[in-house]
Amino acid sequence: MKKLLLLTCALLAISATLAFAQDPNGITLGWSSCGTTATQANRNFTCDDNSVVHNLVGSFVPANGTTEFAGISALVDVTSGPVTPYPAWWDFQQCRAGSNNMQSVASLGFCTNNPYNAAGLQGGGVVGDSQSGPNRRRYQLDWSRSEPGTVLAGQRNSAFLLQINSAKTIDEGFGVCAGCATPMCLVFNRLEVYIFGTPSLHSVIENESVRQWATWQGGAVGGNGCPAETPAKSATWGSVKALYR
C-alpha cells in the first residue's frame, strides 16, 4: 500500500510538471518569432537606416482546435504612453503610409503549428479611427486562407506577421518622419478565429498566454506604462468592427 501511495504521488508530480510546462490558452505578442521568451518582448533600433524590416508576430494557444480553420481578425493597440502627439514615424496612414504590411506566415520559432500552411493567403491591416487619440492608434489585422486548415488545441499556433519597415527614418531625399526613437507599447487585445462553416466565428480569445504586449525602444512596462496605457479589453469592439463592413 505504501509503495502504491508513493507511486501515485510520483505520477501526480510528473503530471503537474507536464501541465505547468504546457502553454496556457491565450494570445501572445513578440518580435521576430512567436515571442515566448524575454528576448522577443522588446525591439531596439538605432534609427539610422531606411532599409531595416521589423516583424511583429501574434500567436495563440486555443482551448479548442479545428480542421476547418479559415482565418483570424486581430486587434492591436499601439501607444506612445505619456508622449504626445503620437509619433509621425508610427503613423502608417500619413507620414509613413504603406510602411506596415501583413505578410505570409511561414515557420516561426516557438510556434508548434502554422495554420496557414499550403494554401492561398490574403490579408490586410486597418487603423480604427474610433480608438485613435493624441497618443494611440488601433489596428485591425485580418489574415485568411483559401481552403480549410488545421488549428491545434493546446498548442501554439501562428496568428499573424506584421512587417514594419524603416522607410523615412533618415533623410535620403524622400523626407523624414520623426519619432523612431520614441518608446512605444503594442498590446494584442483580442483575437477572433474563423472557420469555414456556420457559424463562421469559432472562438474569441482575449486572455494572455505568455505576454500580451511587446515594446519598442524599451517602452515602459507596468505602472502607467505598457500595457496599462492601453485598455486591456475592448469595450467598443462592435463599433470598431462596424468601420470595416
Looking at the 3D structure of the chain, how many domains does it have? 1
| Residues 183, 62 contacting (CB under 8 angstroms) | no
Phi–psi pair at 9, nearest 5 degrees:
-65, -40
Residue 41 lies in a domain: no
The pLDDT value given to residue 188: 95
Whether 45 is in a domain gets the answer no
The answer to the question of residue 124 being in a domain is yes
**Predicted local confidence at residue 20, as pLDDT:** 33
201 in any annotated domain: yes
Q: Which domain holds residue 137?
A: 50-242
SS (H, E, C) the chain: CHHHHHHHHHHHHHHHHHHHHCCCCEEEEEECCCCCCHHHCEECCCCCCCCCEEEEEEEEECCCCEEEEEEEEEEEEEECCCCCCCCHHHCCCCCCCCCEEECCCCCCCCCCECCCCCCCEEEEEEECHHHCECCEEEEEEEEEEEEEEEECCCCCEEEEEEEEECCCCCCCCCCCCCCCCCCEEEEEEEEEEEECCCCCEEEEECCECCCCEEEECCCCECCCCECCCCCCCCCCHHHHHHCCC
- The pLDDT, as a whole number, for residue 141 is 93
> Does residue 44 fall inside a structural domain?
no
Q: Say if 129 falls within a structural domain.
A: yes
The answer to whether residue 1 is domain-embedded is no
| Residue pLDDT, tens place only, 31-51 | 999 978 888 999 999 999 999
Model pLDDT, residue 129: 55
Q: What is the pLDDT of residue 177?
A: 98
Residues of the chain with pLDDT under 50: 1-21, 130, 232-245
**7 part of a folded domain:** no
How far apart are alpha carbons 38 and 45 in whole angstroms? 17
